[in-house]
Amino acid sequence: MTSDDLEQKNKKTVRSLLLLVLVMFLFAVALIPLYDILCEITGINGKTRQESAVLDYKIDTQREISFEFITSIGAGTGLAFKADNYQLKVHPGEVIKMQYTATNKTDKRMLAKANPSVTPGPAVGYVKNTKCFCFDTQVFEAGETKHLEVQLVIDPALPEHYKRLTFGLTFYDTTN
């Protein structure tokens, strides 16, 4: 094998490896929307979606569910974020309104988006998210505090064995 043949083989190998890296990168980028679609279809990971129709359920006053509200922020997100109440006792079919307070603790303008989730995961289909600041990117000026609202309804068809649900919101800085 001559040095020219070896050089040609090396170039072909480098091109093949670069193509493989590109395909792997594109596959990794495509996984994000595919994961979101899978979660929406199957209800895994407790991801909620916006319910566009006005839901008018009959309130089941015979049942009471403990509904907890938790908050978190993504790494490097300069927000202070909390629910105004940690827990509410609610009846299925009742409209639940929760207020949140978020403060930009940085000296820079920030774009942030919150991702909602419900646990336990199988209950996600029964929690209807009718109004949420999490459906839109929020703009926070330096040092700004915002009071944000979420409105939920628990479908009365929620199986009886669910006595406690948790609604979580995680804010992520999307400025970059």
Whether 32 shows a pLDDT value over 80: the answer reads no
Q: What is the full DSSP assignment across the chain? A: --HHHHHHHHHHHHHHHHHHHHHHHHHHHHHHHHHHHHHHHH-GGGB--B--SPP-PPP-TT--EEEEEEEEE-TT--EEEEES-SEEEE-TT-EEEEEEEEEE-SSS-EEEEEEEEEESGGGGGGEEEEEEGGGS-EEE-TT-EEEEEEEEEE-TTS-TT--EEEEEEEEEE---
pTM of the model: 0.68
- pLDDT score, position 76: 84
pLDDT tens profile 74-133? 888 889 999 999 999 999 999 999 999 999 999 999 999 998 989 998 888 889 888 888
